[in-house]
Amino acid sequence: MAAQQRPLSPHLQVYKPQLTSILSIVHRGTGVLLGLAAFGLMAWLLSTAGSIEAFDRFHAFVGSAPGQVLLAAVTASMVYHLLNGIRHLLWDIGWGFELSEAYASGWVVVGLTVVITSALVFVAMNAGGAA
C-alpha cells in the first residue's frame, strides 16, 4: 500500500501558539530530556558503586560549568514534568477540562515550576559547599 504524503494537522505554520499547546509540547520535550537524564542517574549509581576514581570523575563533571547547567536544566524539566504530570492525572480523572480551568492550571504549573526550581537551585548551591 503506497502511503500518500498528506499534510498532517495541526498545521504549525498557520497555527497560533497558545499556552495549552506550548505546555503540551514542552511536556514531551522535558519528558525526552528526563528519559536521557535517567542514564545520568544510572551513571551516578554506577560511580557510587564503583571505584573512588569513577566517583570523583562523575562529580568532577557534575561540578563543571556544563555539568551545572545540565543539572539545572534537568532539575527544571523534572519540576515542570512532575507538576504538569499532576495536571494530566487530574484530567484523567475528569477534573479541569473547561478551557478556563485548563489555562488556569497551566499558569499555576508555570508559576510553581519557576518557584520550586529556583528554591531547589538555591538550596543546592548553598548545601555542602558544592556548585
Partner 1 sequence: MNLRDPLAIARGLGSAKDGTQHWWVQRLTAVALLLLTPWFVWQVLGLIGADQYAVRETLGQPLNATLLLAYVLSMFWHAQLGMQVVIEDYVHGWFEIALQVTVKFAFAFGALASALAIGRIVFSA
Q: Is 114 in the site for partner 1 (CB under 8 A)?
A: no
Determine the size of the site formed for partner 1 (CB under 8 A). 30
∠ CA 11-13-16, nearest 5°, is 85
CB of 101 vs partner 1, minimal distance in Å = 20
- Residues 6 or more apart whose CB falls under 8 angstroms from that of 7 comprise none
Residue 34 binds partner 1, judged by CB under 8 A: yes
- Grid cell listed for 94: 475528569
44 vs 112: CA distance, rounded Å: 28
Report if residue 130 touches partner 1, rule: CB under 8 A.
Answer: yes
Provide the 10 A C-beta neighbour count for residue 45. Answer: 11
Question: Exposure string (b/e) for 58-96, b if CB count within 10 Å is 16 or more?
Answer: beebbeeeeebebbbebbbbbbbbebbeebeeeeeeeee
For residues 3 and 99, which CB has a smaller minimum distance to partner 1 in the complex? 3
Position 66 contacts partner 1 (CB under 8 A): no
Residue 42 beta carbon to partner 1: minimum distance, rounded to whole angstroms? 5
110/124 with CB nearer partner 1: 124
Q: Is 48 in the site for partner 1 (CB under 8 A)?
A: yes
| List of residues contacting partner 1 (CB under 8 A) | 28, 31-32, 34-35, 38-39, 41-42, 45-46, 48-50, 52, 55, 78, 82, 85-86, 88-89, 92, 120, 123-124, 127-130
